[in-house]
Amino acid sequence: MSGTHTDARISRQVRRLETLLEERGIVLGAALDEMLDAFLSGATPLNGARVVARAWTDPAYKERLLADGTAAVAELGYVAGGVQPQRLRVVENTGATHNVVVCTLCSCYPVRLLGPSPSWYKSEAYRSRVVREPRAVLAEFGLRVPDGTDITVWDSSAETRYLVLPRRPADSDALTEEQLAARVTRNGLIGTAAV
């Protein structure tokens, strides 16, 4: 699978770079470990969930999030990019439209907001089928999108990543922002589940 190959290649490149930097006394191993730990421990679906819960409870924030996802997540302290800068676009589920995210080319994914991507996201089957028959693929995830609801499939790239803003659950009026965030799942943020 190309995603796995890419990961392995990047790991090798990082190790080589790490060795070079250490040899030249530029970075000490322990300091680098700390930086990588900070990067990875900061990458969890709870980040995306917090963004969604804020949008559900603050209409002005939701407006900013849909207009410029990159800037709006930065307000909450989240960086959309990794090594390269990336644009984050947030797409809102409504009664009329359900959104689902894929990377048809490889496995582009907003890692900082969703944590490491699930293996099915990187699979050839998902990447090719969700574009051709999204309704059938979502049904296999247990998500039945009503016939009257259109499905929009967003194809990620190195420059642009997508995050789905799910519909707020109907029974959630009394919940706090924190409790709402706890309801939001990773698959809900990709669009392969409802919340």
Evaluate the CA torsion angle 173, 174, 179, 183 in order and state its sign.
negative
Q: Active-site residue among 11, 103, 119, 156? A: 103
From the CB of 5, what's the least distance to Fe ion, in Å? 12
Q: Which is nearer to Fe ion, 103 or 164 (CB)?
A: 103
Q: Active-site residue among 106, 117, 157, 172? A: 106
Geometric angle at alpha carbon 23, from 21 and 27, rounded to 5°: 40
Task: Let me know if 157 is a catalytic residue.
Answer: no
Of 10-18, 28-36, 95-103, 140-148, the segment contacting Fe ion by CB under 5 A is: 95-103
Task: Let me know if 2 is a catalytic residue.
Answer: no
**Residue 106 binds Fe ion, judged by CB under 5 A:** yes
Among 43, 52, 72, 103, interactor with Fe ion by CB under 5 A: 103
From the CB of 3, what's the least distance to Fe ion, in Å? 8
**Residue 53 binds Fe ion, judged by CB under 5 A:** no
**Residue 131 binds Fe ion, judged by CB under 5 A:** no
Task: Let me know if 172 is a catalytic residue.
Answer: no
From the CB of 184, what's the least distance to Fe ion, in Å? 23
Kindly compute the dihedral angle of the four CA atoms of residues 17, 13, 115, 128, in this order, to the nearest 10 degrees: 160
Task: Let me know if 108 is a catalytic residue.
Answer: yes
Geometric angle at alpha carbon 121, from 178 and 194, rounded to 5°: 40
Contact 5, 122 (CB under 8 A): no
Contact 58, 44 (CB under 8 A): no
Kindly compute the dihedral angle of the four CA atoms of residues 67, 75, 116, 114, in this order, to the nearest 10 degrees: -60
List interacting residues with Fe ion (CB under 5 A).
103, 105-108
